[in-house]
A = this chain, B = another copy of it.
């Protein structure tokens, strides 16, 4: 029997504003899409609406850039206030590159361009969106909210788009998760040929985030995607297990 998965980008989520209850927004989207949520589903939600709902928005006018931020911004024709926010959001700078690109390691251990600070797609031109303070906690809150309001507790993945070394283009990865084993550990299991599998630990939460992006898209902006038919394994560990331990990292 063939295995079938469905990716359904929900309609009718609408604009999300600071203080909004995301579980209600998801409920709206499910209703508009004629769908009922089940415990077996996965919901992939973009970081953007989570950050908005949690009011992780900063008016650039309120930011006073350091001299270092001003110098870098001047050198590359960037907005010094945005550079300042990127520096503040970085626990560590991994690279500063041509074009003014800053790759930061956030306090969560996420390595990404601009340390997740995003000025596009936020209402008004002068507002920056920061990553959630604790994306795993955000995912757990949404899961609890859905359980309470809709009576179903699907797996939750919070996605954001990251660049990668050596490869062009961005892909969506998981910055937060709840309910699901984000890192599926198949070591020790037999493969189809009956041999024990080696080194097979799959970042399924990242793959779910990437899959959802195909349905949700960048232009259409459907920020919530329902994944149906994927047999996820339960775990309380969240997406933080996807962050590589520094001592294992060959690319500091």
Contact = CB atoms under 8 A, between A and B. Distances in A.
A121 B210 contact: no
A141 B207 CA distance: 27
B218 A191 contact: yes
A19 interface: no
Nearest to A123: B193
A183 B169 contact: yes
A175 to B, nearest CB: 11
Given A2-B10, A7-B5, A207-B172, A213 B221 contact: no
B250 A103 contact: yes
Number of copies: 2
A90 to B, nearest CB: 14
Interface string A143-185: 0000000000000000001001111111111000000000110
Contacts of A89: none
- Size bracket of the A interface: 35 or more
A169 B218 contact: no
Contact of A120 (B35, B198, B207, B221): B198
Contacts of A193: 121, 123
A60 to B, nearest CB: 15
Given A4-B8, A191-B120, A204 B197 contact: no
Given A165-B249, A210-B210, 6 more contacts: A3-B215, A3-B217, A111-B166, A161-B202, A169-B242, A192-B221
24 contacts: A3-B8, A3-B9, A3-B220, A5-B7, A5-B214, A6-B7, A97-B250, A121-B191, A121-B193, A125-B195, A167-B203, A168-B183, A168-B242, A168-B243, A169-B203, A170-B199, A171-B203, A171-B206, A171-B210, A186-B218, A192-B220, A202-B218, A210-B210, A214-B227
Interface of A: 1-11, 32-33, 35, 95, 97, 101, 103, 105, 109-111, 113, 120-121, 123, 125, 161, 164-173, 183-184, 186, 189, 191-193, 195, 197-204, 206-208, 210-211, 213-222, 227, 230, 241-244, 248-251
